[in-house]
């Protein structure tokens, strides 16, 4: 093997190692639902405040026993904020909107739900079940802030698809979009590697 080939091989191995190291640095969360399990990779380099907030709820068990209370086919599955009897889960203070981080609301990404106020996200999140570019950040105005993407489903995308096809109707305080058969988040846990 000549020196040039050896150098290329070493460079390639170094690149593979860097990619593996970068991927290993991203926290992962296991979301066990009544429809199956999903693994979500989080991006603290792009959304540090949002990831820290989400992980604090995960590690406190705040999502365990909550439901997907809003499901709209070919749009998104929203959850984390209500129990099966529609009691609102206690929340921490709202967090800063980080939707200007360059991540897009593409299919299988997870983003923070919020009110009409840009910096109002607390514990509720949604999984995009389609490419929803109209939710992306366009400007730092109340209309353009968008919704912060902070992770992506890397295993169990089919589970999100199953949830998205649930029959819906009114339920609890909501006039529509509630799954007729309750879809529960049984447990969420950070995967320790």
- Evaluate whether 161 touches 31 at the Cβ level (below 8 Å): no
Q: Can you give the pLDDT at residue 142? A: 85
Residues 6+ apart with CB under 8 A from 16: none
The per-residue pLDDT for range 38-63, each reduced to its tens digit, is 999 999 999 999 999 999 999 999 99
Q: What is the value of pTM for the model shown?
A: 0.87
Q: Can you give the pLDDT at residue 137? A: 98
- Evaluate whether 153 touches 38 at the Cβ level (below 8 Å): yes
Length of the chain (residues) = 193
Give the residues across from 190 on adjacent strands.
29
Q: Which domains does the chain have, with CATH numbers?
A: 3-191 (2.40.100.10)
Q: Can you give the pLDDT at residue 47? A: 98
By mean pLDDT, which of 20-34, 73-87, 92-106 is the weakest? 20-34
The per-residue pLDDT for range 111-139, each reduced to its tens digit, is 999 999 999 999 999 999 999 999 999 99
- Evaluate whether 98 touches 136 at the Cβ level (below 8 Å): no
- Is 90 exceeded by the pLDDT of residue 148? yes
Q: How far apart are CA 118 and CA 146, in angstroms?
A: 7
Residues 6+ apart with CB under 8 A from 96: 49, 119
3-state helix, strand, coil in the chain (%, to 5): 25, 30, 40
- Is 70 exceeded by the pLDDT of residue 188? yes
Helix, strand, or coil here: 136? Answer: coil
Pairing of strands 168-171, 149-155: unpaired
Residues 6+ apart with CB under 8 A from 134: none
Q: Could you tell me what percent of the chain has a pLDDT over 90? A: 85
Q: Can you give the pLDDT at residue 193? A: 77
Where on the phi/psi map is residue 184: left (φ > 0), alpha (ψ -120 to 50), or beta? Answer: beta
């Amino acid at each position: 093997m000549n020196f040039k080939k050896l150098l290329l091989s070493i460079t390639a191995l170094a690149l593979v190692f860097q990619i593996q190291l970068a991927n290993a640095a991203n926290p992962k969360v296991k979301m066990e639902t009544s429809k199956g399990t999903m693994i979500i990779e989080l991006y603290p380099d792009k959304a540090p405040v949002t990831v820290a907030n989400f992980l604090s709820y995960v590690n406190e068990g705040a999502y365990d026993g909550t439901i997907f209370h809003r499901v709209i086919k070919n749009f998104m599955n929203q959850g984390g904020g209500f129990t099966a009897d529609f009691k609102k889960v206690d929340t921490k203070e709202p967090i800063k909107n980080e939707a200007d981080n360059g991540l897009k609301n593409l299919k299988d990404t997870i983003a923070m739900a919020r009110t009409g106020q840009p910096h109002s996200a607390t514990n509720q999140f949604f999984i995009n079940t389609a490419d929803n570019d109209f939710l992306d950040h366009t400007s730092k105005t109340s209309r353009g802030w968008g919704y912060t993407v902070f992770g992506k489903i890397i295993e169990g995308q089919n589970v999100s698809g199953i949830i998205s096809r649930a029959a819906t109707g009114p339920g609890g305080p909501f006039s529509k979009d509630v799954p007729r058969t309750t879809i529960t988040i049984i447990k969420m846990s950070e995967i320790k590697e």
